[in-house]
Amino acid sequence: MRLSKVIQAVDAHACGEPGRVIVGGVLDVPGKTIFEKMRHLREHGDDLRKRMLREPRGYPAANCNLILPPTHPDADAGFVIMEQVEYPGMSGTNTMCVATVLLETGMVEMREPVTELVLEAPAGLVRVRADCAGGKVKRVTFQNVPAFAAYLDRSIEVPHLGTVVVDVAYGGMFYVIAEAGPLGLRLTPEEGGDIVRIGEMIKAAANEQLPVVHPEQPGFAGISISQLSGPPSHPDAHRKNSVIVSTGKLDWNRPSTWTGAIDRSPCGTGTCAKMAALHAKGQLGLNQDFVHEGILGTLFTGRLIAEARVGQYAAVVPTLSGQAWITGMASYVLDPDDPFPEGFTVGDIW
């Protein structure tokens, strides 16, 4: 059998959120920075993202990361994050999966009890501390890019829902954040369908009414993702969230297009965005732990360690801690006769 485009990957998850890591089969991508490499993939090599994330090799909640040689002299490795409808500048769960895979497979030397490394994401350098024991990464803590609030307590009009009060904050992606309670939600797995539908509607309306562009990286523009926030169920958590990752484009006239997938974890960049909004409201100070619960009851711990400035915005520097686990290793191939070289989506789950 003649096969082409053989990709070696390690599958992992961070507190429930899957993060596939491509470790072989792609030597490099054109571009002077990881951001430029991300843009090249988006504009000229998007078949890789589609092939790895769509069926039959992927599914709606899947994420994928491509390990690349770093372009910054301080970085140990670079990585491009690929999700269902975009290339995020940064992702907390994917950072945890990438760091864990690099260390546990020996691509980067593990030093116990603590390994420090620097990863180069499209959004910039990410400094990582990995607590290690017995060849296993027990905890990943990283310093994220500066986070900031762009809008606070803004009322938007959402068709079919009415007036919804939201925050918009950046934590590596732009999030629109709304309280779940007034929407009749408790953020449980049984509410998954309603959470996705409502979250996608709020995101679409917010993008129309609250434009936003990263002042230092204009390539990151618009609200990528929605987050519903509520009181915790876990006794150690301060808040609970449910983040909705889009799997298609919403059409107000076709409710069947309101599709997405819930982040199975407490969401890394979403936690950073939430902390930035809380800090801007005077509800979270520096050097205080903020424990965020996801829909599965898993926890991330965030902390704001400094104030900063991003263009016209007052910003904060967040750290985030969590854990990832490797679940498998595989080679993914493309048969030249495969009728779906870029995968496919079907409306029952997409």
- List, by residue number, the catalytic residues: 91
Neighbours of 74 (CB within 10 A): 9
Q: How far is CA 322 from the centre of its chain?
A: 14
For the stretch 180-184, contacts whose Cβ atoms lie closer than 8 Å and that sit 24 or more positions apart, written own/partner, are: 180/228, 180/229, 180/230, 180/242, 181/230, 181/231, 183/228
**For 76, which DSSP code?**
S
Q: Could you give the C-alpha distances from 37 to 33, 45, 52, 63, 191, in angstroms and in order? A: 6, 10, 18, 18, 38
234 in Cβ contact with 267 (< 8 Å):
no
DSSP state of 54: S
DSSP state at residue 108: S
β-partners of residue 332 are: 7
- Residue 62 CA to its chain's centroid (Å): 11
Beta strands 260-262; 289-293: pairing state: unpaired
* Contact predicate 118/87, CB 8 Å: no
